[in-house]
Amino acid sequence: TPIETRFVATDVGGFAIGADDAPVKIIEYGSYTCPHCTHFHEDVLPKLKEKYIDRGLVHFEFRSFVANGPDLLASMLVACEGAARFEPLSDLFFARLGGEVEWRQGSDPNAYVAELAKRAGVPATRFQQCQADSAMRDKLMAMRQGAIDDYNLRGTPTIVVNGKVRQNVNEWDALDRLVGSLLAQ
Taking residues 77-94, report their average pLDDT: 93
Which of 72, 91, 89 minimizes the C-alpha distance to 139?
Answer: 72
Domains plus CATH for the chain?
A: 4-184 (3.40.30.10)
Alpha carbon distances (Å) from 10 to 24, 107, 130: 17, 35, 18
Query: Residues 167, 99, 18, 173: what is their CA dihedral angle, to the nearest 10 degrees?
Result: -40
Condensed to tens digits (0 to 9), the pLDDT of residues 133-178 reads 999 999 999 999 999 999 999 899 999 999 999 999 999 999 999 9
Q: Where are the alpha helices (DSSP H) in the chain?
A: 35-39, 45-51, 69-81, 86-93, 102-105, 109-119, 124-131, 134-151, 172-184
Q: What percent of the chain has pLDDT over 70?
A: 94
Whether pLDDT at 105 is above 70: no
What does each C-alpha distance from 57 to 1, 8, 20, 48 come to in angstroms? 12, 17, 10, 10
Q: For residues 106 and 55, which has the higher predicted lDDT (pLDDT)?
A: 55
Mean pLDDT computed over 8-21: 95
pLDDT band at 69 (very low <50, low <70, confident <90, very high): confident
Q: How confident is the model at residue 116 (pLDDT cuts 50, 70, 90)?
A: confident
Q: How far apart are CA 51 and CA 177, in angstroms?
A: 12
Strand partners, 160: 27, 165
